Amino acid sequence: MLKVWDFTKLTEEISSEEVNVSHNPDVRIGDDYLLRSFATKSSPLISLHFTRRNLLLAVSMFDGVSS
């Protein structure tokens, strides 16, 4: 499964919070930052590449053998 996250939103929220080193930060739930999920069935992703026009290309190898 390929998941695309809003990293800019996450970093903006972290930088706007007060930093307190004496305690551990709250654990965040990632659903607020998840933009999209793409199912790949049983094909593992081999490579990801962003083009100059911000297009994400993904390469995977399909395994047709049933397990």
Digit-coded pLDDT (tens) for 6-46? 888 888 877 766 665 565 566 667 788 899 998 887 788 99
Which pLDDT belongs to residue 52? 95
Q: Is residue 66 part of a domain?
A: no
Q: Is residue 45 part of a domain?
A: yes
The residue behind tokens 């930052």 is 33
Residue 49 has pLDDT above 90, yes or no: yes
Q: At 38, phi and psi to the nearest 5?
A: -125, 120
Angle at 66 between CA 60 and CA 67, to 5 degrees: 100
Structural domain boundaries, residue 22 = 2-60
**Residue 39, Cβ neighbours under 10 Å: how many?**
7
pTM given for the model: 0.58
Work out the end-to-end distance of the chain between its first and last CA atoms, rounded to an integer number of angstroms.
Answer: 18
Q: How many domains does one find in the chain?
A: 1
Residue 67 has pLDDT above 60, yes or no: no
